[in-house]
Amino acid sequence: MRNFFQRQGKFRPLSKGDERSAEQQQIPEDLWVKCPKCGELLYSRELERNARVCPKCSHHFRLSARERISLLADSDSFQEWDSTVSPQDPLKFVDGQGPYDEKIVKTQKKTGETESLITGSARINGRPVVMVVAEFNFLGASMGSVWGEKMARAVERAVEERMPVLTVNASGGARMHEGLFSLMQMAKTIAAFHRLGENRLPHFSLLVDPCYGGVPASYATVADVMIAEPGALIGFAGQRVIEQVTRQKLPEGFQTAEFLLEHGMIDQIVDRGNLRDLISTLIDHYLGAPQGLGSYSANGLRSATELEQTVTVVDTPGPATTTTGGMS
């Protein structure tokens, strides 16, 4: 099969030769990060340059939505949509930690985002795409009314402008503070994607760590192409819930991307460094390469099966360290 080609860009993955020893341990925490999988101490700026992928064990650290956008979109191509759509508090919800509306304001200040979903248009290797990205730092990327509304608008616009949709999905579950409004966003988003499909426009879903509850139980797992990042935890019910309900020990690797691949739920597990090229190749397959650009990836991609046989490092995920909420 053909060579799997490397991307030139801000986040170009390090080659093995660039690895550093883990001996300098006296440096301040904000400069050094310990890899939760292999224990390696990594220099923050170098980790950033490597798209927050551990150069030693390939562990994929979580990215913020903005980091994800800058990783995937061509420079300065991202145009945000509907950033002024903000959450409301229709139930006047007050829980043990206080009122929901105060929680929103605090979270908005802390994160600098108005909500947990960012939508817009972008180009990937020159191809126009609607890009929808979850922000896990905003209340655990819980899906509430704003998520549904912004998603529906973005997908409707994709239909109007005949663009493909890329969703980057992380979620801790439903936004319980919005009660049944929150659950109904599963219906609202699936309706939007049904319409996208009727218009024969492709939806690419990228599942990243962690992705639980109503997001994978609605639009995020019925995309035309299902991709996951190595080691990402993905499922319906959260691991703590399952352990409590079943009183069974969870099998090793349970709910990892590798587990989902084995069980037939996703098409490929793709290293962060190869995502852009995979997406732009997919767009060309479904919509044709844009005039003048030609086929970007002239040398082709290797089959995922082949790839795994070579890149053995992602075949053996360590014990899952991330715990998440989820829907029961």
Partner 1 sequence: MTQTDETLSQEETGTEPTATLSAMDRVRLARDPQRPATLDYIGELCSDFVELRGDRSFGDDCALIGGLATFRGRSVMVMGHQGGTNTRENIERNFGMPRPEGFRKARRLMRHAQKFSLPILTFVDTSGADPGISSEERGQATAIAECLMQMIGTRVPIICTVIGEGGSGGALAISLGDRLLMLENAVYAVASPEACAAILWKDASKAAEAAETMRITAADLDRFGIIDELIPEPVPAHEAPRDTIYTVGDRIAAHLDMLCATFDPDDDAGVHDLLDRRYSKFRKIGAWSEAGTEG
For 65, phi then psi, to 5°, come to -60, -40
Query: Which range binds partner 1 by CB under 8 A, 9-17, 57-65, 129-137, 214-222?
Result: 214-222
**161 CB burial (10 A radius; 0-12, 13-18, 19+):** exposed
| Contacting partner 1 within 22-51 (CB under 8 A) | none
Closer to partner 1 by Cβ: residue 14 or 283 = 283
By CB under 5 A, the residues from 20 to 49 that bind Zn ion are 35, 37-38, 40
**CA pair distance 202, 95, nearest whole angstrom:** 40
State which H helix or E strand residue 42 sits in: strand 41-43
Stretch that binds partner 1, among 8-16, 63-71, 116-124, 247-255 (CB under 8 A): 247-255
56 binds, among partner 1, Zn ion, none (CB under 5 to 8 A by kind): Zn ion
Q: Does 182 bind partner 1 (CB under 8 A)?
A: yes
Q: Which of 120, 128, 231, 325 binds partner 1 (CB under 8 A)?
A: 325
Q: Which of residues 80-139 bind partner 1 (CB under 8 A)?
A: 82, 84-91, 93-97
Distance CA 143, CA 289 (A): 34
3-state secondary structure of 107: helix
**24 vs 323 by CB, closer to partner 1:** 323
Q: Is 165 left (phi over 0), alpha (psi -120 to 50) or beta?
A: beta
Residue 44 interacting partner from Zn ion, partner 1, none (CB closer than 5 to 8 Å by kind): none
For partner 1, the binding residue among 105, 187, 294, 321 (CB under 8 A) is 187
Phi/psi of residue 307, nearest 5 degrees: -60, -45
Site residues for Zn ion, 48-77, by CB under 5 A, read 54, 56-57, 59
Binding residue for partner 1, selected from 58, 64, 107, 145, defined by CB under 8 A = 145
328 binds partner 1 (CB under 8 A): yes
Rounded CA gap, 24 and 32, in Å?
A: 9
CA distance linking residue 34 with residue 229, whole number of Å: 20
Among 265, 290, 313, 318, binds partner 1 (CB under 8 A): 265
**CA–CA distances in Å: residue 171 to residues 94, 135, 148, 209:** 22, 8, 13, 8
With binding defined as CB under 8 A, does residue 162 bind partner 1?
no
257 binds partner 1 (CB under 8 A): no
Of the residues 40, 135, 224, 229, which one makes contact with partner 1 according to CB under 8 A: 224
Cβ contacts of 171 within 8 Å, gap of 6 or more: 134, 136, 140, 141, 142, 143, 210, 211, 212, 213, 214, 215, 216
The token pair at 61 is: 């650290």
272 binds Zn ion (CB under 5 A): no
Q: Residue 209: which region, alpha, beta or left (left: phi > 0; alpha: psi -120 to 50)?
A: beta
Q: Cβ of residue 66: shortest distance to Zn ion, in angstroms?
A: 23
Which stretch, 7-15, 119-127, 130-138, 275-283, contacts partner 1 (CB under 8 A)? Answer: 275-283
Binding site for Zn ion (CB under 5 A): 35, 37-38, 40, 54, 56-57, 59
